[in-house]
Amino acid sequence: GAVVSQHPSWVICKSGTSVKIECRSLDFQATTMFWYRQFPKQSLMLMATSNEGSKATYEQGVEKDKFLINHASLTLSTLTVTSAHPEDSSFYICSASFNRASTDTQYFGPGTRLTVL
Amino acid sequence: AQSVSQHNHHVILSEAASLELGCNYSYGGTVNLFWYVQYPGQHLQLLLKYFSGDPLVKGIKGFEAEFIKSKFSFNLRKPSVQWSDTAEYFCAVNMNTGFQKLVFGTGTRLLVSP
């Protein structure tokens, strides 16, 4: 149980285009979903937290207009990288949790590797 | 800013050896602590977590971790590793401020040779 999927698993795009990444909780309803970014040999960095039906909360330094997050249902959150540039190339990972308690386990997706040419 | 340190970036062990991976955090308040594992080609999975009670926590696959508040540490241990434990291990801390924000360490790559 508690499976989270991401689509696509990898994407290559041209500079200036927008890319949408989907995160789905397959067998549970996720009150909260999270988006992380991971650079090579570095740790996961939280980008934003989204609760179903409300606006995402972005971490300091993350551009809201650059990384659009939509959490329209309890099983789907999307991250859109707008006007992507090479520096946006990274590994993007989502996670989901049943509730909003700080002790709740986050269940992670497999990640999406974005390469911007 | 809060941070999590994993001092061992790469660890190589033979099967049956004992394992201890270090994790230290910098935050003076109450914390919730997690260890996640990522097997090759797979996503992050929870090994164990601590948020209150007995500071010695037992997780899946024979892993355990001990929270030592005075040392701001949450080290992961396993008495006898197997080849199948080859993976990357991440320590993560939630500052228990009512939000679920996890701060991750940089991870430790464990290679267990048969």
Burial class of B13 by CB neighbour count within 10 A (0 to 12, 13 to 18, 19+): middle
Q: Look up residue A12 and give its amino acid.
A: I
Instruction: Tell me the mean pLDDT in the region A57-86.
Output: 93
Could you tell me if A33 and A23 are in contact, meaning their C-beta atoms sit under 8 angstroms apart? yes
Q: Which residue has the higher pLDDT, B15 or A2?
A: B15
Could you tell me if B90 and B38 are in contact, meaning their C-beta atoms sit under 8 angstroms apart? yes
Instruction: Tell me the mean pLDDT in the region B61-70.
Output: 96
R_g over Cα of chain B: 14
With a CB cutoff of 8 Å and minimum separation 6, the contacts of A49 are A32, A33, A34, A56, A57, B99, B100, B101
Cα A45 off chain centre by: 11
Cβ pair B100:A97 closer than 8 A: yes
Model confidence pLDDT, tens digit, residues B32-46: 999 999 999 889 999
Residues on chain A touching B36 (C-beta within 8 angstroms): 108
Which of A100, A101, A105 has its CB closest to that of B46? A105
Nearest Cα residue to A69 out of A84, A85, A81, A86: A81
Q: Which residue has the higher pLDDT, B30 or A90?
A: A90
Nearest Cα residue to B44 out of B3, B76, B89: B89
Q: Could you say which residues from 92 to 111 on chain B have a Cβ atom under 8 Å away from some Cβ of chain A?
A: 94-107
With a CB cutoff of 8 Å and minimum separation 6, the contacts of B110 are B11, B12, B13, B19, B21, B81, B85, B86, B87, B88, B89
Q: Look up residue A30 and give its amino acid.
A: A
What are the structure tokens assigned to B95, written together? 């500052």
Model confidence pLDDT, tens digit, residues A18-45: 999 999 999 889 889 999 999 877 889 9
Q: Could you say which residues from 3 to 62 on chain A have a Cβ atom under 8 Å away from some Cβ of chain B?
A: 4, 32, 34, 41-46, 49, 59
Residue B69 CB coordination number (10 Å): 10
Instruction: Tell me the mean pLDDT in the region A43-62.
Output: 89
Cβ pair B101:A106 closer than 8 A: no
Q: Is the pLDDT of residue B76 over 70?
A: yes
Q: In this predicted structure, what is the pLDDT of residue B106? A: 92
Most confident of A53-57, A100-104, B53-57: B53-57
Q: Could you say which residues from 35 to 54 on chain B have a Cβ atom under 8 Å away from some Cβ of chain A?
A: 36, 42-46, 49, 51
Residue holding tokens 């991976």? B21
Cβ pair B106:A42 closer than 8 A: yes
The helix/strand/coil state of A62 is coil
Q: Which residue has the higher pLDDT, A26 or A102?
A: A26
Q: In this predicted structure, what is the pLDDT of residue A55? A: 85
